[in-house]
Chains A and B, each alone.
Chain A
Amino acid sequence: MRVIVADDSMLLREGLARLLTEAGINVLATVATADAALREVALSLPDVAIVDIRMPPTHTDEGIVAAQEIRRRHPEVGVLVLSQYLQSRYATRLLEEVPERVGYLLKDRVADIAVLGDALRRIADGECVLDPTIVARLVRRRAQGVAEQLTQRELEVLQLMAEGRTNGAIGRRLGLSEKTVEAHVRHIFVKLDLPVSPDDHRRVLAILALLRDGQVTP
């Protein structure tokens, strides 16, 4: 696994790089700005670029913009965006444009190497990853509307789907067979009136939209 790290704080940049290296991940370069990140990606073509959302000059959404640029220019390079706190609007923006090979994690999670490593691997495999905390918050917000219609098990499956996991991964998590998970997924889609799509990535979007706004965007 080859990655680059982009974050304007030197402490975090170097600390994260060291941690990743120790975990056996090859850190090709560390940079401090979005432009430098784009240059490095073009130069070294890593598997995943880890990018902080807030970077100079405005410290608002440079990371998202850089992620979109990277995905546009180099579709085979994945992007993991790190954010200080839940910014669901940015998350959906990221996923709407590039629903593949993209991840959105809270920075709090960065020190947990297990979660970080798992996210990097899933992104490199082409999935999209959403921080479970974000999903949990979204689900809780919409708890009333959605929970009325689904069983507890179906809710769990929905949450894991929203995190971007595959049916197999969901089954392993919940101790179910993949076939059972598929059945649950079909029920959920029918109950919530979601468009059936075999594409894992698209379904994340649909579920996210449902959780955020209470309705499905076509």
Chain B
Amino acid sequence: MLVRIAVVVAGVVLGVAAVRAAGRSGGLSFAGDPVGAVALLVAGWAVLAGALVLGRRRPTVRTSALLVAVAGTWFVAEWNHAGAGSALGFTLGSALFAASPALVAWTALGYPTGRLESRLDVALVATTLAACLLLGVLPALFFDPRATGCAGCPANLLLIGDDAGLSLRLGRIGLTVAAGALVAVVLAMVWRTVTASAARRRAVLPLTLTGGGFLLLAAVRFLAGRDRGFVGSSPLDRRLWLAQAILLTALGAAVVWSIVRERRARSRIAGLVVRLGHPADPGGLRQSIAQTLADPGLVLGYPVDGGRYVDAAGDPVDTSPGPGRASTPVVLDGTEVAVLVHRPGLSDDALLLAEVAGAARLGLEQEGRRARLRAREHDLRTSRARLVEAGDAERRRLERDVHDGAQQRLIALLLGARTLHLRLARQPGSEATAILDEVSARLGRAVEELRVVAQGIHPAVLSDEGLLAAVDALAEELARPVSVDIGDARYPASVENAAYRVVAEAARCGLSGVVARRRDGALVLDVLASSVPERLVDLEDRVGALDGTLRVREEPGGAVRLRAEIPCG
């Protein structure tokens, strides 16, 4: 806090002092007239404003310091004239008059953290700084203002020996080198901006334009001053300087603006946190995050066993990025909690993603747990349905075996017995026929019993003809009349099996009526019996394994109604 106050005070003081120094320069300084003064102050203080705003956040403190230096050298350049007043001021002004472009170059290349990313950048900035400092320092070593006939000029503290010619030559060289370096920096900045991703370009473009423009103008001024050997004060120079002032103001404004925008993004995140404070339904989290990141097509996936991903409802979701999308894992405490599939520009704004992940942390963990539970539920359900189907298939196979094996043999035996009976009937020997009669009768009963057993395992007519035929056959065996109202429609095998089981169980408890209809893609079965089936739990399990429901209700008059609704989808 103290630092900030000190910077503000220093900035004001330095600015005002610079104006006064400019006023005393006798027309050599551009800030001598009111317009120039305003331009000088506004530019310098705009840069300072940017520095103050950046100074708040830790990552950008370096840039903040750089900007303070820019403002400082911008003001100090006004002491590069005879009216500087003090020797120190004049010396500083002479040495540092070209420093601000170099510092702006450093700021622009290192934005926003102030760290230079590549060796090339470091080389460029070092060269530019060196060129600009030397441009100020070297000629000053050999320049004595008093020797040029300026009696009221302050002394040059750096003076080694007066050699105006050498000073000019050094100045010329310095101007050329500095201009070249600045142009190189501008080229590097433009290249960086053009090849950046869309998001980064958005962030860096204002600085590139204002900073780059400022540097180009500086380079032009340097080149224009080559003939003279020093940067001059012609009307052209003045116009260029005013343009520089405008660009510098814009630079400061751009910095402030970028921070404002970031604050707005943060408040959106704060809004996200508030929204997340209210328990959301599954999918609500995805929506909140999508809104915050302004990416409506955002996909949010939670990892489950087996390397799969599911959404909040436990349904499988595809997290491969595909064209035009990028995927980013959300990692909290070292484990992957979720995966976001988003538009590519977001990957660059790592800060934003990290903030969103942090804000949504609790919600992500919770929803992730729920999603995994749902996915497991789903797996259990499919495995249960598979088990039931496997059981049904086994029964069908068993019935086939009984039918093709034992039953055939018994019928053949029966035929044999009847044949023998016929033959013996023509001959005397009634005991044989009597014995055969008995054998035939027993065989007949065995055939009948086996048929009933096979039907109990799995009625072949159910697979072949459907529920109506099977229930008809069943009803036929019963003593009481049963009213059967089932359409001809066929349903999936597992559904028909389950429905038949319900009817078969009810048949042991006084079945009196069966109604079956297809409604809304499900089989609705109504069975009337005189008591509740013993193995009701088995029936519920069977029906439940197919995602169906079985309800039992007592009807007036003591009858029992079983209603099964089994989806056929």
Contacts and interface: CB of A to CB of B under 8 A. Distances in A.
Given A12-B408, A18-B416, A111-B444, A86 B423 contact: no
Interface stretch (A40-48, A71-79, A93-101, A135-143): A135-143
A19 B417 CA distance: 9
A9 B472 contact: no
Contacts of B451: 108
Contacts of A85: 460-461, 473
B475 to A, nearest CB: 8
A75 to B, nearest CB: 30
Size class of the contact patch on chain A: 20 to 34
Interface of B is mostly: helix
A146 to B, nearest CB: 14
A107 to B, nearest CB: 8
A23 B422 contact: yes
A86 B414 contact: no
Contacts of B481: 140, 143
Nearest to B448: A108
A15 B403 CA distance: 17
A9 B423 CA distance: 24
A11 B461 contact: no
Contacts of B404: 9
Contacts of A14: 412
A129 B27 CA distance: 132
A123 interface: no
A87 to B, nearest CB: 6
B473 A12 contact: no
Contacts of A60: 464
Size class of the contact patch on chain B: 20 to 34
A86 B473 contact: yes
B188 interface: no
A113 interface: yes
Interface string B486-499: 00000000000000
B465 interface: yes
B415 A16 contact: yes
A150 interface: no
Interface string B408-438: 1101101110110011000000000000000
Given A9-B408, A12-B408, A113 B422 contact: yes
Contact of B411 (A22, A110, A143, A144): A110
Most chain B C-beta atoms within 10 Å of own C-beta, residue among A85, A111, A143: A111
B460 A18 contact: no
Contacts of A143: 481
Nearest to B483: A144
A19 B418 contact: yes
Given A85-B461, A86-B461, A111-B414, A11 B473 contact: no
Interface in A1-57: 9, 11-12, 14-16, 18-19, 22-23
B472 A141 contact: yes
Most chain B C-beta atoms within 10 Å of own C-beta, residue among A12, A15, A107: A15
Nearest to A133: B476
B469 interface: yes
Interface of B: 403-404, 408-409, 411-412, 414-416, 418-419, 422-423, 440, 444, 447-448, 451, 460-461, 464-465, 469, 472-473, 476, 481, 483-484
16 contacts: A9-B404, A11-B409, A12-B408, A12-B411, A15-B412, A16-B415, A22-B419, A84-B460, A86-B461, A86-B472, A87-B465, A88-B469, A108-B447, A110-B415, A111-B440, A111-B444
Given A19-B419, A144-B483, 8 more contacts: A12-B411, A19-B415, A84-B460, A87-B461, A110-B415, A111-B418, A113-B418, A143-B481
What 8 pairs between A and B have smallest CB-CB spacing? A15-B415, A11-B412, A22-B422, A15-B412, A19-B419, A111-B414, A22-B419, A18-B419
